[in-house]
A and B are shown apart, each in its own frame.
Chain A
Amino acid sequence: MAAVTERFMHLSRPLGPQQAGLQSSIAPLGVNIQPQAILSILDHATRRDVRDASQPSRVIGALVGTRSEDGTEVEVRSCFGIPHTEEEDQVEVDVEYQKNMLALTLKANPREALLGWYTTSLELNSFSALIQNFFGSPDTGTFPHPAIHLTVSTDPSTAIETRCYISAPVAVNSERAAESCLFMQVPHKMLYGDAERSALGAISAAKDNENRNAPLVSDIEALGASIEQTIGLLDRVSEWVNGVLDEDEEPNAALAQFLMSTLSLAPKVDPEQIEHDFNNHIQDVLMVGYLANTIRTQIDLSQRLATANIQIGEKEGENKNEGDKDGQRGGGKRGGRGGRGGGRGGGQQREPREPREPAE
């Protein structure tokens, strides 16, 4: 997984500020991040304001998603950027913007809620604490649930690293409570479902291209690529096995065991049975293809006849009517016996389409 986090001891969640009568859970917290959230963050990072050199290179934004019922698992589904400025001693976050944007986002996805915030540098500083307290506060934030803070390193020279935190209030005195907090790391992982695989696959196809572009390929091309890759892998395994047999490679019991159990999964079937099933099925498939194309031809013909300028006989309207009937008879037969209708329809004279206007 992309977001393999370093191994660390995950203790129970720290207690938030206790409000009267509210007992918040102290169960450990797990964070699942969906790829679109990460992509959104990376996109935002590339769109930061570079005109003003005094501004920090990091950007911040809010995380939106769902919580499990007991609040121990959260899923970050989307996020949006928030404009902010940082100066020597003060940080300004566009609170109004955050409020409006959150309302807009939730309007489209009513089941989601504000979860926390992200920033695009790994650094935690006193501004982080200030913003964290803003996002965790009862009025504007996620209280009674803890606000999650996700940091994504976007330094071009290093690998992209993600870390996830929650916080506990800590301060030497009450005046300073607003600008300090204790960040505690929590485990997180990037999750993607089967539905997202196709999009991620298409994106990954571009990763080795220098121009970072990849055309969307047709199914059959993708199939070709998959088959080639599988054959490559199989070749590699058989090469290794041969190597072991020729005593070139070090044998490995675990791998052999794994291969044996995999090979035993292959079904044992009668070759005749296969031949039979195969022929049946392929005929069905080809038939469907044939019929679908017949139907297309029929409809095409019907459309052409409907607008064709037929100049036999005296009245145009009647001829048109006839043409239509023919097309319809063919189409109405569900393609199966449609060939006849088509033959008859084709007998009518139809005007060949004139070439289109020149392109330039």
Chain B
Amino acid sequence: MTVASLSSSGASTPQHSRLLIQSPYSDADHLLDLDTLDRENALLARALTVMQHTREDYATALYEDSFNWDDIFAELKRLVMEEGQGFKQTSFYVVAFRSQIKAETDTSHLGALDKAAHAEAVASGGFLKYWFGRPNADRRNLATCLWRSREDAIAGGRGPAHRKAAGSTRSLYSHWKIDQHRLTIGENAESWEISQAIFNMADALKDAPFQAVQVDALVAVKINKHCSSAFPTTATGAIVGMDQNGVLEITNSFGFPSTDGTSSDSHQNDASAAAAAAPRQKANQTYQSEMIRHLKEVNVDANNVGWYTSATLGNFVNMNFIENQVHYQTANNATVALVYDASKSSQGNLALRAFRLTASFMTAFKEGKFTTDILQKSKLSYKDIFAELPVTIHNSHLLTSFLHQIPGLPSEEDIEPPVSSADLERDQVQAPLHPSIDMLDLAIDPFLEKTCDLLLESIELHYTDLNNFQFYQRQLGREQTKISQWQAKRKAENAQRAVAKQAPLPEDEWQRLFKLPQEPSRLEGMLNAKQVEQYSKQVDGFTAGISARMFAVRENLAPQ
């Protein structure tokens, strides 16, 4: 109990003052108000006042090794003891900003930017500690922030001052890197751990109101049923739910009315096209709001969070998809598109994916211009069109108890031996739903073939797109030649007129005389590229699966 004896020495922190200096800045609006935090966070914030770097090469060293964590946690333990109310296991969000400043950057300007952003972040709440070092000889530096949670960090970065600071990053630093860590402190501050937090899609989704999608079992089954019964026609519908703590919970869904109930095979394409466009139609929007109004009465989350569509082997990247999602995302940013792949799911593994358009694409789409110039400036590539979100399935307690009643794995205990083969015939063992034995099916060639067909179609599209563009280039070239000819002619004329002491003719009349062709939109091409990427990844997946299965079969049939 050496910890207890330490308690008298802890005079470094003001015990009962509300405001805490949590950064190198000590002005009033840079202080952390401890009353805004819960006990664990307040305790850690107080303990962090002893934070110091332990080595000089912190700018490049491992994060865990760079600070006096042992002292911090000794201090934390002491504070916990002193308060005597224990410490619940909590995790915190840590950002480490490693940078290399450009030689010519004016650091005083940088300091002002940083200070403004810091005041703003403190005001937004949950900001526990800010620390930064000095640039070393190599002009490398480390700055680190500890936050209550990732959400707080995101909220803290929304203000104008932070934007301004982040915006000038590119011009001030020659190189930078942002590491995210998770600091977890165990019960009673007995243990602690700093782990590399994995926020895979953090980059593309940094502005998204949620980072993951949680689908209720009911929704998975409903979408599955709707889409597979409509197959091969496209089926679309709306989903409802709510977003909470960075996770979008989807709790119910309903299909949109199919346009015609008697779709014969010859009209299949029409029906598909109509269904694909359904989410944007006026009639369906009325249907959707009507349905949601009714669902609200039976306590379903009455909050539209997007839509779903069916696809065949990943062929969903097209204008319809984009337009639908733009439609939803404009109305409500917290929306998502679920894509159910009917063909892929028939192989035994549920293929349900969630997508949303990135903010940069949304801005570009609103402006409606996808010319080469704009794409160059905005650095928007086909890879940034949409971001995929991880999907998890969630069951209610009731459903879990129900699922335990349907066949699972054969029981581990001894089973009553059957009396006759008729017994076996009668009580056949039901295959468990998970893990599914459908996965072991070898007949994958049709899927591979179909994907290849789709891939060829995409290439065809790509070719058309390029032809269009080339046509435009030729026309543009022709017009430009004409213009320069005209300009040369006019110049010569003017030179003559100058000699003859006459007023020169205007030289910009060509703008009226000639019309430059419009550049075709590059959006189609981008979508197509995304689609091809989609297909080839899918082929990779198929190849991996089938080769594993084939080797298994070979070993089985022809043992070495």
Binding site for B on A (CB under 8 A): 1-2, 34-36, 38-40, 42-49, 59, 61, 77-78, 80-83, 94, 97, 100-101, 104, 107-111, 154, 156, 159-160, 190, 193-207, 212-220, 222-223, 225-230, 233, 250, 252, 254-255, 257-258, 266-267, 269, 271, 274-275, 278, 281-282, 285-286, 288-289, 292-293, 295-296, 299-300, 302-304, 306-309, 317-318, 320-321, 324-325, 327-328, 331-332, 334-335, 353-360
Contact = CB atoms under 8 A, between A and B. Distances in A.
Contacts of A198: 224, 345-351, 436, 438
Contacts of B390: 215-216
A195 B341 CA distance: 11
B434 A205 contact: yes
B456 interface: yes
A297 B404 CA distance: 47
Contact of B419 (A196, A254, A354): A254
Nearest to A82: B298
B514 to A, nearest CB: 16
B346 A303 contact: no
Contacts of A111: 261
Contact of A222 (B228, B436, B535, B558): B436
Tell me what chain B mostly uses at the interface: helix, strand, loop, or mixed: helix
A224 to B, nearest CB: 8
Contacts of B455: 292, 295
A227 B372 contact: no
Interface string B195-221: 000010011001000000010111011
The 5 closest A-B pairs by CB, nearest first: A195-B228, A81-B298, A199-B224, A289-B543, A225-B435
28 contacts: A35-B221, A42-B218, A49-B299, A83-B297, A110-B258, A154-B398, A190-B406, A195-B342, A198-B224, A198-B346, A202-B352, A216-B350, A216-B392, A219-B349, A219-B544, A226-B440, A227-B552, A228-B435, A274-B554, A281-B550, A285-B550, A292-B452, A292-B536, A300-B533, A303-B382, A303-B525, A304-B381, A360-B153
Interface in B281-321: 287, 290-291, 294, 297-300
Contacts of A205: 393, 434-435
B459 A295 contact: yes
Interface stretch (B23-31, B183-191, B249-257): B249-257
Contact of B299 (A48, A255, A302, A335): A48
Contacts of B254: 108
Interface in B341-379: 342, 344-352, 372, 375-376, 379
B313 to A, nearest CB: 12
B440 A230 contact: yes
B557 A267 contact: yes
Given A2-B402, A202-B220, A331-B459, 19 more contacts: A1-B406, A42-B398, A43-B251, A43-B399, A46-B396, A108-B254, A108-B287, A195-B345, A203-B393, A207-B400, A223-B440, A225-B439, A226-B435, A252-B418, A254-B423, A281-B550, A299-B528, A317-B477, A355-B176
B398 A160 contact: yes
Q: Output the residue of B180, B257, B549 with the most chain A CB within 10 A.
A: B257
A203 B220 contact: yes
A227 B442 CA distance: 13
A159 B346 contact: no
B469 interface: yes
A156 B400 CA distance: 11
A356 B203 contact: yes
Contacts of B540: 289, 292-293
B110 interface: no
A254 B419 CA distance: 7
A197 B348 contact: yes
Contacts of B224: 195-196, 198-199
Interface in B521-560: 522, 525-526, 528-529, 532-533, 535-536, 539-550, 552-554, 557-558
A285 B528 contact: no
A296 B536 CA distance: 7
A205 B539 CA distance: 26
B423 A358 contact: no
A39 B216 CA distance: 10
A266 B559 CA distance: 14
Contacts of A302: 462, 466, 529
Contacts of A252: 417-418
A318 B350 contact: no
A340 to B, nearest CB: 16
B376 A307 contact: yes
Given A223-B548, A258-B424, A204 B406 contact: yes
A336 B445 CA distance: 20
A226 B439 contact: yes
Nearest to B522: A306
Given A206-B394, A223-B548, A230-B437, A324 B469 contact: yes
Contact of A306 (B372, B420, B542): B372
B554 A36 contact: no
Contact of A227 (B347, B379, B440, B458): B440
B448 A328 contact: no
B511 interface: no
